[in-house]
Structure 1
Amino acid sequence: MYRNIISFLLVVGYGLYAHSQQLPLVYDQEHTGSHYAPPEMPGYDQLSECKDLPDPLAWSNGEGKVTHFNEWAQRRSEIAAEIQHYGIGMKPAVDKENVKARMNGDTLIVDVTIHGETLTLRSTIHYPQTGKAPYALMIGTSMLSLPKPLFEKRPIATMTFHEAQVNDYSQWRPHHDRGEHPFDRLYPELKDNGAYSEWAWGLSRLIDGLQLLGEEQTKIDMRHIGVTGCSYAGKMALFCGAFDERIALTIAQEPGGGGAAAWRISHQLDSVECLEKTDYHWFLETMRTTFSGDSVYHMPYDHHELCAMICPRALLILGNPDYKWLADRSAVVSAKAARKVWQQFGIEDRMGYSIVGGHPHCMLPERQYPEVEAFIDKFLLGKKTDTNNIQITVFDQ
């Protein structure tokens, strides 16, 4: 009898393991749930107060929750719709017939034409000196903030998404006002959008270009594309990874408030980037007027669900508790809540976080290299590295 029980448990365990290995690591579509109707979007007066983080697996109508992976695409599409409606504005879908792409040497050029207006994106691909094409690709949002040695010794190409080609808002240089950016020529009806919806749209158009040209022209492996950025660009990487399922790995480095940190939790902390204190060029102005102060508890989603949108693909969140403004205590709570979605489907090895201090902002210390290398090797290069227990933090909760 004992032997039979052990045999049964081994069979069940192997079955769960095999199932988890079969879940997709990436998709060939930007949004696999685009065919689902969005949930109802109640006004503030109809939104219930919820001081705890909302359950990311619970349906928007409050009737039950996701229990099987084949339901996740629909739930994920609900979260995406809520984040766009209440938080960042619409990321419009684009038909491939509206996108043209070409290579000029090693530079990818993508033309997107909407309503007779054309926006052009350019980015140079830097190919590795090792390995053979097609290569995995890491896209840096605004710049590649992770140390170059992490990529130079690996067969991984790199490129930069120059976000000013879509929306040139910057905290440090002259910029156009809301509604006057290149994106707004194509979509004047979306002039109230926050920058993060527009930047996510732009990076997806670069991926369209790679997809249209194919690996023969680009030398890029479409199944192994990553995105990374730091600080405001860490938020950008997180939104880009969440809203495009062709991205296999997202590494959000020190994204701060409005990134991995949950607005609800940050509201309870001092001296952090909370909902009232973030930069509203990035978000809908209506998010501030609707959800400031204790009204944040009426928000129907929070940023643990932004993180969860990346499931079943891979996500690594990097933090730096030395900079209180980054709200990493909130980010840890958010990351733990998001990770439960990966756990629900038996793939928690695809989500991790490393919150390590003792270094300047956006300068990854060498002691954090192992976590980053493990995720890069596993999810961009297909190696069998151990990412099961990358949950590193100085915070108890």
Structure 2
Amino acid sequence: MQIRHLQLILVVAAMIPMNLSCAQKKDTPKPADTLNQLSDCVLGQMTSFEGLMEIEDLPNPFLMRNGSQVTNLTQWACRRKEVIKQIQFYETGIKPDAPDTLSASISDSTMVIRMADDGKSLEMTASVILPQGEGPFPAVIGIGFGGGTGSLPAELFTDRGIATIQYNLNELAPWGFDVERGSGGFYELYSDPSVGFFTAWSWGVSRLIDGLELLPELTIDLDRLAITGCSFAGKIVLFSAAFDERIALTIAQEPGGGGAAPWRVTETLDGEREILKRAQGAPWYASDFSKFNEDVNKLPYDHHQMVSLVAPRALLVLGNPDYEWLAEESTHVGCEAAKTVWKAMGVPERLGYSIVAGHPHCQLPADQQPEVIAFIERYLLDKTSSGEEIAISPYSPDLDRWIKWKTPDLLE
């Protein structure tokens, strides 16, 4: 049975770039807020694999490593930093800071970003297509093989006056399964082959945004910046948005395992799924992530928490249950678990998911387009001041099996 949950939210949910307010709340977060700036945190050392405890349920996103509960936005900012550090330490490899020097230029429709760090250099390029008229324009960064809108139909963006930016992921690390660990431009700058490609690719997205910030003549509205990609690129956009809060809207299309689907949940499903030990065919993850292949319950976090790092910004996850490998039942659970963070911030409508069958992989069907359009118009075009929750799925998972925590009110 298909579930279509459309619930009106009784708050004045703010849209970019409008100011947010709530009748009974204060300090309601904005979509492009940088929560990391709210607090300085002491994160401490990560626990070794041998010292990790097993956690059978999904880990509580509101539980700090020291055992204290998150009760406000300042504490959440610290919790967010903890989870980022855990993901990079155990799963992807550490994402470096911006290089020592970075410059950007634009010629015709090609943006060139030149970087140098410790005597090494790297150059990135991106195709930027602006709409007709005067800016500033909202923009979307497309990742994958479909151009400046990823695998989504270009007209969903271009017909609405949105600039498109094509991210050249192969300049950072090559796509493919028969590729060498540590190969690609990122590793010429940072020569640590233990770091996975997802770190390299997400680092490149951050540098692309750095370049946009240096080119005001492009008239890109950096408060209305979206990112999208499908399949492996759907994972890239989730990691990118989780690690970089300058992205206002994320549309992750069919990301599967390593995306919005928690490793623990996927492990319990029958069939050929993208469980953790089957996700090691390419050097996408850190070299020692395979330690968890036979014991995913030792992960001190899971991917519902990676998804929750996007909060309070907007995220739409698209799924396709026709492909068993994608483990969309797990995606459903992961999105509902992550949504508790958006609920804690008073903006649950900013996380949506649409799991719809009857179409090839990475080809958006007509009956899934309304959800995409709704998020584009809400979070890039300011066409509505409040929205309905979008939760479309053919599954009815036992959420109580996985979600054991109570959702706090972080705005009190």
Determine the structure 2 residue equivalent to 1:192. 194
1:180 and 1:244 mapped to 2: Cα distance?
A: 24
Q: TM-score, normalised by structure 1?
A: 0.89
> Which SS does the other structure have where 1:276 is aligned?
helix
CA distance in 2, matches of 1:90, 1:44: 16
Q: CA deviation at 1:212?
A: 1.8
Structure 2: runs of 5 or more not aligned: 1-9, 14-19, 398-412
Q: Counting helix residues as a fraction of each chain, which structure ranks higher?
A: 1
Q: Which residue does 2:30 correspond to in 1?
A: 24
* Distance change in 2, residues 1:368/1:110 (3 Å): same
Cα–Cα, structure 1 residues 376 and 182, in superposed 2: closer, same or farther, change >3 Å?
same
Q: Is the 8 A contact 1:110 1:120 kept in 2?
A: yes
Are residue 284 (structure 1) and residue 289 (structure 2) matched?
Answer: no
**CA separation in 2, counterparts of 1:257 and 1:118?**
33
- Are 1:226 and 2:226 an aligned pair? yes
Equivalent position of 1:5 in the other structure: none
Equivalent in the alignment of 2:409: none
Within 5 Å, give how 1:252-331 maps onto structure 2.
Answer: 252-270=252-270, 271-278=272-279, 279-288=281-290, 290-293=291-294, 295-331=295-331
Match of 2:93 in 1: 89
Greater relative contact order, per chain length (Cα 8 Å cut-off, separation 6+): 2
Q: Distance in 2 between matches of 1:100 and 1:149?
A: 31
Is the contact made by 1:125 and 1:159 (CA closer than 8 Å) also made in structure 2?
yes
CA deviations on 1:88-131 (whole Å, 9 max, x unpaired) are 00111115x511111112221111111111111111111123x5
Is 298-307 or 386-395 further displaced after alignment?
A: 386-395
Is the CA contact (8 Å cut-off) linking 2:39 and 2:74 kept in structure 1?
no
Of the candidates 174, 181, 185, which is equivalent to residue 182 of structure 1?
185
Contact 1:53 1:302 in 2 (8 A): yes
- The total of aligned residue pairs comes to 376
1:352/1:387 contact within 8 Å kept: no
The residue aligned with 1:340 is 340
For normalisation by structure 2, the TM-score amounts to 0.86
In structure 2, what is the Cα distance between the partners aligned to 1:116 and 1:180? 19
> CA 1:125–1:93 in 2, change beyond 3 Å: closer, same or farther?
same
Equivalent residue, structure 2, for 1:65? 69
Question: Does structure 2 retain, via aligned residues, the 8 Å contact 1:262–1:330?
Answer: yes
Whether 1:50 and 2:55 are equivalent positions in the alignment is: yes
What is the CA distance between 1:40 and its match in structure 2? 2.9
Moved more, 254-263 or 379-388: 379-388
Contact 1:377 / 1:385 at 8 angstroms: preserved in 2? no
Q: Identify which of 38, 42, 49 aligns with 1:37.
A: 42
- Rounded to whole Å, the distance in 2 between the matches of 1:348 and 1:18 is 16
5 Å-filtered alignment, 1:358-373, equals 358-373=358-373
> Per the alignment, in what secondary structure is the counterpart of residue 54 of structure 2?
coil
The residue number in structure 1 matching 2:376 is: 376
1:274 and 1:20 map into 2 onto residues whose CA distance is 41
Verify: 1:103 aligned to 2:106, yes or no.
Answer: yes
Aligned to 2:400: none
After superposition, give the CA deviation of every residue in 1:246-271 in whole Å (9 maximum; x if it has no partner): 00001000001111110001111121
Equivalent of residue 152 in structure 1, options 158, 162, 166: 158
Work out whether residues 196 and 283 of structure 2, in 8 Å CA contact, stay in contact via their aligned partners in 1: yes
